[in-house]
Amino acid sequence: MQGLQQPTSASELRALAWTAFLVPVCTVYARSACRRLRPGRHRLAALFPTFLVFIYLPCLFNSLHLRLLSTFFHTWLATNKLVLLALDLGPLHPSLPLLPFLLCAGLPIKLRVDAQPTKQQPSSPVADFLVPCARSFLFLTCLAVLHPHTAPLPLYVVHYLYCAQIFLTLDLVFSSVGLVAAAVLGTGMERQFRAPLVVASVNDFWGRQWNLMAVDLLRASAYAPVRARWGRDAGVLAAFLMSGVLHELLYWYMTLEHPTGEMLLFFTLHAAVHVAERWAKLAGLWRPPKAAAYVVGTGFMVVTISEFFFGPFIRAGIDVRMMEESTAAVELLRAVAKRLIIRPFGHVSG
């Protein structure tokens, strides 16, 4: 953390401006190159400069929140999508119109395949994201009010609240991005989160609840090729190991310190449990009542996340600094609201 400077409005606005310039330039270049080159090593070599740009982009930010989002949006998602594009895999294709290509490459969105409205699906694609945005904002506000009073709570309860804060923050960001993209493109977007705070198993969490776009990309880039050669369990291990390496990289971006290996250990453990759960179910050894499954599954997630995932970040002081940034952001919003709302009405009443 010593090498990471404190963010200022000027530094972060400058980083956002560079990002807003470089991401479209790289994605336009990638689309143009892929329209001229066949899938394979030549297309991969042509796209290599864009990988370097996306890997560097998080380093432009001093804010941990923006650095975290840039790491996920650009270093992980965008780079992975373009690598798959070079191999003619994944969600991107050169035949996509320019605007959908730009948005799908640079943002955590995925176009819904069955875009026709149904009885279960709202006719307006924007409506899919209005409720999640409002819900996440409301609960995040409640957590912000609760945070100063969490000192007496047990450690695992506090860490469960951390899990809730991470989920709600990401869901708010992803839903907001999906809301804007759906409004611009006029088509449906797939939701990326379901209800990951209460899960019945590790398989349920990673396969159906948490960050489904990342799951899809891991399935295409790690699971599928390894499974084709060495079997399903090897594919699962490869996907989790790839995720562990990416989270070790995230730790470096957030702290500028050498990774501790705990992220890799966390995902290796979950890979082993993922495989063991499937074997136990196939053998008929693990069929607990639904309530018990939720208690055991959620308890395992909270304990392992607390011990292996949060540990290195908390020791590096990331939680304290991110809370300071959140408080500063709230104060900034209050100041803006006061300037835009309270002062004009006060001037009129005077």
pLDDT of residue 349: 47
How long, in residues, is the chain? 350
Around Cβ 117, how many Cβ atoms within 10 Å? 12
CA–CA dist 92, 77 (Å, integer): 12
The torsion angle over the Cα atoms of residues 199, 201, 207 and 210, rounded to 10 degrees, is 30
Q: Minimal CA–CA distance to 249: which of 267, 230, 229, 271? A: 267
Residue 189 phi/psi, 5° resolution?
Answer: -120, 150
Report how far apart the first and last C-alpha atoms of the chain are (Å, whole number).
49
Is there a contact between 40 and 87 (Cβ–Cβ < 8 Å)?
yes
pLDDT of residue 71: 94
| CB-based burial label for 44 (10 Å; 0-12, 13-18, 19+) | middle
Q: In Å, how far from its chain's centre is CA 249?
A: 14
pLDDT of residue 228: 92
Regions of the chain where pLDDT drops below 70: 1-3, 113-128, 196, 342-350
pLDDT of residue 113: 64
Alpha helices in the chain (DSSP H): 9-36, 41-56, 64-70, 79-86, 98-106, 127-146, 155-185, 202-204, 212-218, 224-230, 232-255, 262-282, 290-304, 310-315, 318-337, 343-349
CA–CA dist 133, 8 (Å, integer): 27
CA–CA dist 273, 262 (Å, integer): 16
What does pTM read for this prediction?
Answer: 0.83
Radius of gyration of the chain (CA): 22
Q: In Å, how far from its chain's centre is CA 166?
A: 10
pLDDT of residue 188: 74
Around Cβ 191, how many Cβ atoms within 10 Å? 17
CA–CA dist 337, 268 (Å, integer): 46
pLDDT tens readout for residues 5-51: 888 888 899 999 999 999 999 999 999 999 999 999 999 999 999 99
CA–CA dist 123, 125 (Å, integer): 6
Distance (Å) of CA 206 to CA 73, 77, 109, 303: 19, 17, 18, 16
CA–CA dist 312, 305 (Å, integer): 11
Q: Give the sign of the dihedral formed by CA 176, CA 67, CA 255, CA 206.
A: positive
pLDDT of residue 3: 65
CA–CA dist 75, 58 (Å, integer): 8
pLDDT of residue 345: 56
pLDDT of residue 83: 94
Helix (H, G, I), strand (E, B) or coil at 111: strand
pLDDT of residue 249: 93
